[in-house]
Amino acid sequence: MKQQQRDSTVQTPIHSGFGSQTTAREVLGNLDLKGKTVIVTGGYSGIGTETTRVLAGAGATIIVPARSLDKAKASLKGITNVEVDAVDLMEPASIDAFTRKFLDSGRALDILIDGAGIMATPLRRDMRGYESQFSTNHLGHFQLTINLWPALEKAKGARVVVLSSFAHVGGGIIFDDPNFEHTEYDKWRAYAQSKSANALFAVSLDKRGKSQNIRAFALHPGVIPDTNLGRDLKKEEGTVVIKRLENGQPIGREGTMLKTIEQGAATTIWCATSEQLNGKGGVYCQDVDIAEAVTAESKKPSGVRPWAIDTDLAERLWNLSEKLTNTKFAF
């Protein structure tokens, strides 16, 4: 396949010195984030809570958008420097209200982590008729990020981190029917599409932001059993997935895709803060490093497939996303 390269960043590991067992706190080290403002969608559940805890512990102010304010506040109780505000990623008006309020505050946005997501859900649709996984995981974050662009510009060196997944290997964007209006719905195929969309979003976002030093990264956090991401799965489905991945090895051990929550947040923290990524962007990362670009036929349980980093596909998705969200990038 054609090697993917965007500016100075090649989709090839840089040998960061970290690995699959590295924790979020180990990645951050002694970095001081006082004065920095961060928005973390999904920041009150699973690895999102750990992401919030670690960044707040370094002094950053964290804003956590949430559908359930009470649930978010309960989950984040005891963590300092955290604000919670209402947003529903499947409701465009909710996104507009949240972003308008943030822009009206006059604050710069140093780091935006698009981390909220749903997985393998039954067929559900938002008020526009859009399939829920595509709507929540990609379109909602697309609208949120574009709306917040002036605050990202104000930071004069911002990063956008988009949580994708190794599940992108299940397929790319179904451009002629992304919302399964004519195609028989498959919950795993829909999830794969949304995760490919997350990766492609980082490609096109970085292209548009690099001149203003707004850099974007996508990542696979690992498979973390101890979260509620798989809440729509039947118990036996989740058990089968975990057993296939674990192969009898303890969670968190080198050589298995399964990670603890502390390990699962590590690549997010690295993409958001590491000086090793200065001047880079538009790449897909995993295990606290830039991932290897592999062929479509690869059987490797790692790496990024071509349909998730292809620049032409990224532009097609960008144009489709502008149309579906009625959100125009005008910066």
DSSP 145-212: HHHTHHHHHHTTS-EEEEE--GGGGG----TT-TT-SSSPP-HHHHHHHHHHHHHHHHHHHHHHHGGG
pLDDT of residue 228: 62
C-alpha–C-alpha distance, residues 247 and 174, integer Å: 32
pLDDT of 235-253, one tens digit each?
555 454 445 544 545 555 5
- What dihedral do alpha carbons 58, 114, 230, 130 form, nearest 10°? 160
Inter-CA distances, 254 with 21, 100, 287, 293, Å: 6, 44, 10, 21
C-alpha–C-alpha distance, residues 110 and 213, integer Å: 11
* pTM of this structure: 0.92
The CA R_g of the chain, rounded to the nearest whole Å, is 18
C-alpha–C-alpha distance, residues 89 and 276, integer Å: 31
Q: CA angle, corner 221, sides to 322 and 39, nearest 5? A: 55
Structural domains of the chain ordered from first start: 5-325 (3.40.50.720)
Phi, psi of 40 (to 5 degrees): -125, 100
Q: Which of 238, 261, 260, 252 lies closest to 46 in space, CA to CA?
A: 261
- What dihedral do alpha carbons 93, 96, 99, 104 form, nearest 10°? -110
The answer to whether the Cα torsion of 95, 98, 104, 105 is positive or negative is negative
**Are the CB atoms for 321 and 139 separated by under 8 Å?**
yes
User: For each of the chain's 331 residues, which pLDDT tens digit applies?
Assistant: 333 434 447 999 999 999 999 999 999 999 999 999 999 999 999 999 999 999 999 999 999 999 999 999 999 999 999 999 999 999 999 999 999 999 999 999 999 999 999 999 999 999 999 999 999 999 999 999 999 999 999 999 999 999 999 999 999 999 999 999 999 999 999 999 999 999 999 999 999 999 999 999 999 999 888 666 656 666 555 454 445 544 545 555 555 678 999 999 999 999 999 999 999 999 999 999 999 999 999 999 899 999 999 999 999 999 999 999 999 998 8
**Are the CB atoms for 286 and 220 separated by under 8 Å?**
yes
Q: Which of 242, 131, 127, 118 lies closest to 186 in space, CA to CA?
A: 131
- Pick the catalytic residue: 44, 130, 191, 284? 191
Which residue shows structure tokens 């690099």?
210
pLDDT of 88-123, one tens digit each?
999 999 999 999 999 999 999 999 999 999 999 999
The DSSP secondary-structure symbol of 277 reads G
Task: Reply yes or no on whether 130 is catalytic.
Answer: no
C-alpha–C-alpha distance, residues 121 and 95, integer Å: 22
C-alpha–C-alpha distance, residues 16 and 37, integer Å: 26
